[in-house]
Amino acid sequence: MSNVHDQEPASTGASSTGSAPQPAEVNLVRVEKGRANEEELAAVTALLLARAAATTRRTQTSVRRTRPAKAGWRRLERQHGFRAPHSWQG
């Protein structure tokens, strides 16, 4: 297993032969200061994955409720003929 701290970022530019650029290695977690051991990285990764899964579940359930709970129109036959401009019935 390679050490996380010794990895160099991959270049994203085109090679000298003129071919298409190679995909860069994606580092999902980067330690800015200090040294994180494997247990600490595993704990942070588990936390981030749990939060991402919770966000995905919340987004999927909210998509189902796109319909408004109440009709946006009123039945005019059930309304009185006049409403005062200062009425709370808006």
Number of domains in the chain: 1
Question: 52: helix, coil or strand?
Answer: helix
Give 8-35 pLDDT, tens digit per residue: 444 444 445 555 555 566 666 677 888 8
- pLDDT of 54: 83
Percent of the chain with pLDDT over 70: 40
Domain carrying residue 44: 37-61
Distance CA 74, CA 80 (A): 11
Tokens of residue 54, six digits: 């919770």
Tokens of residue 49, six digits: 């994955």
Give 33-44 pLDDT, tens digit per residue: 888 889 998 999
Asked whether residue 46 is domain-assigned, the answer is yes
Asked whether residue 66 is domain-assigned, the answer is no
Asked whether residue 44 is domain-assigned, the answer is yes
Asked whether residue 48 is domain-assigned, the answer is yes
Distance CA 48, CA 38 (A): 15
Q: Give me the chain's average pLDDT, please.
A: 68
Asked whether residue 76 is domain-assigned, the answer is no
